Amino acid sequence: MKLGAFSISLSVKDLEVSKAFYEKLGFAQYAGGLEMNYLIMKNGDSIVGLFQGMFEGNILTFNPGWDQEANTLEDFTDVREIQKSLKENDVTFISEADENSKGPANFMIQDPDGNVILIDQHAE
């Protein structure tokens, strides 16, 4: 699943629970380790650092269809496809994209620690 441009670090309460959640989003462990209380999770060019007990605060925004410089990509996973996959993995939504629409759309979800994640597609 291609989520688009962005990265951020998140403060998490339970590293193992958060790791399992982000794996549902298509992230895989890239660096770090449970024994070090942090994991760097990567999905394409998107990187999320998960840190247990190191700091507070956060919000994420991913832009399907954009590279890191907001250039439109020819090949990307549509926001509605991402939403469908997450629904199949029992992820709860704050707001949803209209599945019958095309082009720009967005939805919001929360991870197990209450961090809000915005999937915001601007590309056609």
Model pLDDT, residue 81: 97
Residue 47 has pLDDT above 90, yes or no: no
The answer to whether residues 73 and 123 touch, using CB atoms and an 8 Å cutoff, is yes
Q: Which residues pair with 80 in a beta bridge?
A: none
What is the separation, in whole angstroms, between the first and last Cα of the chain? 17
pLDDT band at 95 (very low <50, low <70, confident <90, very high): very high
pTM over 0.75: no
pLDDT band at 83 (very low <50, low <70, confident <90, very high): very high
Domain limits of the chain?
A: 7-121
Looking at the domain that runs over 7-121, which CATH code has it been given? 3.10.180.10
Model pLDDT, residue 2: 86
Which one has a higher pLDDT value, 123 or 101?
101
